[in-house]
Structure 1
Amino acid sequence: MVLTSVWETRGQSRAPSDQTLPGRAEVTVVGGGLTGLTTALLLARAGCGVVLLEARQLGSGTTGRSTAKLSVLQGSRLAGIRSRQSAGVLRSYVDANREAQAWVGRFAEEHGVAFERRPDHAYANGESGRRLVDRIHGAATDAGLRTRVVDDVALPFPTYGAVRLDDQLQLDPLELVTALSDAAVAHGVQVVEGARVHSVKGRGPLRVLLADGRELATDRVVVATGMPMLDRGGFFARMTPARSYGLAFRTPGPAVDGMYLSVDPPSRSLRTAPGTDGDHLLLVGGNGHTTGRTSSELERVEELRRWTAEHFPGADETHAWSAQDYLTHHSLPYAGPVLPGSDHVLVAGGFAKWGMTNGVAAALAIAGQVLGGHQEWASAFRTWSPREVRGLARGAVANGEVGVQLTLGWLTPPRRERGSVVCTHLGGVVRWNDAEGSWDCPLHGSRFDSDGDVLEGPATCGLRTKTTKTMDEEQA
């Protein structure tokens, strides 16, 4: 089945990108999602010569498949950060997201991007979730947010209260992408779509090598692809890839009054969106899992459908989709040098499904590093910091599981008899995704289409070790 987000079918119009690759650039940004576009725009406004390279189309990755909540509350995330990091680091993280949210709000107003202000709720399904609600409220208030605990959550199923934060934002992410792209081009950014980067080599200048053989010389590179495709820095071992699912339903009126995210199982995300014909849409998300590590992705989509039909009878499905993001082991995003002591190659990622604010904060932090600016909160986004020690135990468990998945993939008899489909990143045996018709690697989240071409992840080369005929037989 084809999974397409509600935003991708709305046909945002923008000027076609320039397909001509220049010979040289001052700064090359890799990745045409929210983070990459914001970074390119910020640097171009400051007078830098910027080229932005996108492997597919602008916004076609995580940005265009987001639920597009620009919230600083973020479910249980603040409590999770506080459990691993100091109160000061938590405040810096919140300050970063506040500044990013304000930046998007100003940009949207100035460029005619529609957005809505809504309260956000982190709600509990049960008693354990209620205890977590209290912890979230404590972490949020310590970080300077005006949250409050409410008992009446106003949802059509039982809950055990919620943390509420008023005046958060929601919008159409691809409408924002279009406005950012137009503004970036107007400031001189050269946008090249269909340009998949294979590697970055050399120094002074750097050489950006594309999968089709073309190359570009540049003084700096910013890799804004969620998971860097550069193995230097070992970011693939410092993050865990996660997929989650979304559905859109047409409803007679607004089905919920605000944004909602559960803090305990089952994972559910709710928000509304205006339809294209004056109608109302309910967006339902959840059922996330580590990429490539579930028995059936399709069953997770179907379970969301059954849950929605039970609690929102009469809702008429219009779209189904999924998205991928990356969770860091120390609970904080990355924005900074790929290697310590050098600022020639910078990376951004690890937004833990909150890239609508974290991605913009990362762009602001990277632009500050390139231009010599300073934001006090940017220390929370450092790529190399002693605070990563707080995530060592979690990282050890995650990487231990990667080792288990690698071994199981090669020892499973059915795959050994037919020959295995092997990821070109680190040799993991990929698994067939029955919801999206893709090959997904359970190690670090690389994904490939049914023909073996790269969709996303740290892999830069397509699948090689299995013929298309054999792949078709396995799909059947």
Structure 2
Amino acid sequence: MTTEPFWIESAAGRPYPALDRDLEVDVAVVGGGMAGLSTAWELVKEGLSVAVLEAGRIAAGVTGHTTAKLSAQHTMIYAKLAKSGGAETARLYATSQQEAVEHVAATAAELGVDCDLERVPSFTYVESAGAVEEVRAEVEAAAEAGLAASFTDSSPLPFPIAGAVRVEDQAQFHPRRYLLGLAEAMTARGARIFEGTRVVALDEGEPCTLRTEGGMTVTARDVVLATHYPVFDRGLLFARMKPERELVVAAVIPAGRDPRGAFITTEQNSRSVRTAPYGRGRRLLIVTGERFEPGAGGVEERFGRLAAWTAERFGADEVAYRWAAQDNHTTDGLPFIGPFHPGARHTYVATGFGGWGMSNGALSGLLLTDLIRGRQRSWTRLYDPRRLHPLREAGPALKMQAAVAAHFVGDRLGTAPAGALAELEPGRGAVLKVDGRRCAVYRDEEGCLHAVSAVCTHLGCVVGFNDAERTWECPCHGSRFGVDGSVLQGPATEPLDRVELAGNELGSEAGSGPGRRTAG
């Protein structure tokens, strides 16, 4: 079993250089995932000079950890949209999402990108008879919105269901191969891609200026922030989004046992199923589920539940791959794609995809390119980050902020004393209070301790330990850090300070380098 996502393991791609000199372009795109690269490609086609700035490797962050369903059917969203925003809102959502699906398929064909794109029906199913009426309502709303939706009480799954929404003409693909193809096409047309280039500052002047961690500056007329969670908070979008992680397990099955479709249910803490080509006569069964808040802990146990469900339902006993995905859910259930904040003139954002980053990423490229070029689509306003729906959003927003406040206060009160350090087993991490300071301490398999500040550098919440991925995670806004404090995922752009625990044996990384602090 490997913990590297199948998409990354099966498509290495070529490296791109880090930015090592100042640069001037028409548009700077921050983030090299589905949204960022899709936007960059559309802009390049318009004849603009474009630079993509990626902190890690392109198509290897959140996009590299996706399940890669390419669908306009997003569980039970259409009945909710019709109720909260009206039938026209649901219709515009369906139109834009299906357009994004078709656009990816057309782009892959146009460029000749071999990304295993397959047309499949999509199912949102329930096993509980009591949920069937909700399914029927969703079928009605999705059909009215314009999708090829129908009700069924059977499916290709190897277990019975009570009912499902079936939507035709959806797709699944290899996201990294697709995006690597886009990258090759756009660089051939003059675009610049920089990996290992973290952006840490933004000046929204005319022109805009970005500053990187390495001290380089990029000057651009327009800037697109496509970093999954915005690395700058000027739009105050953090108050309207909630991060959530999901786990993924994948097992090899004979091609004859492929259910030939994309499936999802919100029951049992979510279960999502699809397959991918895996050599002659075999398919890779990809199962996603076990949603949880970053930093919640117990991740190994959650992986165990997901693997057990996969074995029970599909007879797939041996997990070949496992990884985790993360996305942000907005207070009204719609992504934020458009001007960054009310005063923005040349800065744009794409975030809050709610677990459906493939269609929303492609949609972002179309929408943001239109805005930058002064055009509008019928559905542009639907995704505008500046929208406010007080009645619709008040309840979810208050709940989100109450949860953040609870973490900000409660996680500090729950910090363990320094004496608990002796009980920390190899491979485990804990937040301890040492000389009045909260420290995130990890003991590696050799018994050495690695200590960093437990306070997230984004907005100051206390991190929690992920025992499966061996990472520190912020429950408030989803920032993730390595055990050495390095930033793995934003919105944080600064690492956790390293801490030296006096009188304890430390790993070489834990007690050296910039940011070193002493506790004790």
- Bin the TM-score by the shorter chain: over 0.9
Higher relative contact order (CA 8 A, sep 6+): 1
Q: Tell me how far 1:465 sits from its aligned partner.
A: 6.0
- The within-5 A match list for 1:142-161 is 142-161=144-163
Counterparts of 1:200 and 1:269, CA distance in 2: 38
2:324 matches 1:291: no
Counterparts of 2:126 and 2:136, CA distance in 1: 10
Give TM-score, length-normalised by structure 2: 0.87
Q: Deviations over 1:116-167 (max 9, x none)?
A: 1111100002134323211211220120112111011232233211010112
Q: Deviations over 1:88-143 (max 9, x none)?
A: 11111111111111110101112233311111100002134323211211220120
Counterparts of 1:17 and 1:118, CA distance in 2: 37
Question: Contact between 1:406 and 1:429, CA under 8 Å: does it hold in 2?
Answer: yes
Match in the other structure for 1:423: 456
Q: Secondary structure at the match of 1:386?
A: coil
Match in the other structure for 2:7: 7
Residue identity opposite 1:359 in structure 2: G
Counterparts of 2:415 and 2:482, CA distance in 1: 24
Match in the other structure for 2:285: 282
Match in the other structure for 1:264: 267
Q: Tell me how far 1:199 sits from its aligned partner.
A: 1.7
2:289 matches 1:273: no
Match in the other structure for 2:102: 102
Comparing 370-379 with 202-211, greater Cα deviation is found at: 202-211
Question: Contact between 1:209 and 1:215, CA under 8 Å: does it hold in 2?
Answer: yes
Counterparts of 1:24 and 1:78, CA distance in 2: 43
Counterparts of 2:155 and 2:107, CA distance in 1: 32
Comparing 14-23 with 77-86, greater Cα deviation is found at: 14-23
Q: Tell me how far 1:204 sits from its aligned partner.
A: 1.6
Q: Tell me how far 1:341 sits from its aligned partner.
A: 3.9
Q: Flag the 1:371–1:76 CA change in 2: closer, same or farther, 3 A.
A: same
Residue identity opposite 2:272 in structure 1: S
> Which of residues 429, 438, 441 in structure 1 aligns to 2:474?
441
Residue identity opposite 1:152 in structure 2: S
Match in the other structure for 2:258: 255
- The within-5 A match list for 1:247-396 is 247-253=249-255, 254-276=257-279, 278-292=281-295, 294-387=296-389, 389-396=391-398
Question: Contact between 1:35 and 1:360, CA under 8 Å: does it hold in 2?
Answer: yes
Question: Contact between 1:20 and 1:192, CA under 8 Å: does it hold in 2?
Answer: no
Comparing 201-210 with 18-27, greater Cα deviation is found at: 18-27
Residue identity opposite 1:350 in structure 2: G
Question: Contact between 2:484 and 2:498, CA under 8 Å: does it hold in 1?
Answer: no
Q: Secondary structure at the match of 2:193?
A: strand
Q: Flag the 1:281–1:95 CA change in 2: closer, same or farther, 3 A.
A: same
Q: Secondary structure at the match of 2:218?
A: strand
Match in the other structure for 2:240: 238
Q: Deviations over 1:64-87 (max 9, x none)?
A: 111111111121232333343222
Q: Deviations over 1:45-77 (max 9, x none)?
A: 111111110000001111111111111112123
**RMSD, aligned α-carbons:** 2.1
Counterparts of 1:127 and 1:23, CA distance in 2: 60
Q: Flag the 1:22–1:215 CA change in 2: closer, same or farther, 3 A.
A: closer
Q: Secondary structure at the match of 1:91?
A: helix
Match in the other structure for 1:119: 121
Counterparts of 1:20 and 1:184, CA distance in 2: 20
Residue identity opposite 2:88 in structure 1: G
Counterparts of 2:374 and 2:500, CA distance in 1: 51
Match in the other structure for 1:32: 32
Question: Contact between 2:25 and 2:50, CA under 8 Å: does it hold in 1?
Answer: yes
Residue identity opposite 1:102 in structure 2: E
Match in the other structure for 1:91: 91
2:486 matches 1:453: yes
Question: Contact between 1:151 and 1:161, CA under 8 Å: does it hold in 2?
Answer: yes
Residue identity opposite 1:190 in structure 2: R
Counterparts of 1:202 and 1:110, CA distance in 2: 36
Q: Deviations over 1:443-476 (max 9, x none)?
A: 1111111111111121110001644879979x9x
Match in the other structure for 1:463: 496
Q: Flag the 1:123–1:202 CA change in 2: closer, same or farther, 3 A.
A: closer
Uncovered stretches (5+) of structure 2, i.e. residues with no partner:
417-430, 439-453, 511-520
Match in the other structure for 1:189: 191
Residue identity opposite 2:37 in structure 1: L
Q: Secondary structure at the match of 1:7?
A: helix
Residue identity opposite 2:262 in structure 1: M
Counterparts of 2:336 and 2:19, CA distance in 1: 30
Match in the other structure for 2:55: 55
Residue identity opposite 1:313 in structure 2: G
Counterparts of 2:100 and 2:133, CA distance in 1: 29
Question: Contact between 1:117 and 1:167, CA under 8 Å: does it hold in 2?
Answer: yes
Counterparts of 1:427 and 1:453, CA distance in 2: 16
Uncovered stretches (5+) of structure 1, i.e. residues with no partner:
none
Q: Secondary structure at the match of 2:433?
A: helix
* Identity within the alignment, %: 35
Question: Contact between 2:2 and 2:320, CA under 8 Å: does it hold in 1?
Answer: no
Q: Flag the 1:472–1:407 CA change in 2: closer, same or farther, 3 A.
A: farther
Q: Deviations over 1:372-404 (max 9, x none)?
A: 122111111111123365212111111111100
Question: Contact between 2:11 and 2:177, CA under 8 Å: does it hold in 1?
Answer: no
Comparing 278-287 with 226-235, greater Cα deviation is found at: 278-287
Residue identity opposite 1:362 in structure 2: S
Q: Deviations over 1:295-338 (max 9, x none)?
A: 31111111111111112224432100011111000111111111
Q: Secondary structure at the match of 2:380?
A: helix
- Between the two proteins, the alignment pairs up a number of residues equal to 473
Comparing 268-277 with 30-39, greater Cα deviation is found at: 268-277
Q: Flag the 1:261–1:472 CA change in 2: closer, same or farther, 3 A.
A: farther
Q: Secondary structure at the match of 2:98?
A: helix
Counterparts of 1:417 and 1:374, CA distance in 2: 53
Q: Secondary structure at the match of 2:246?
A: strand
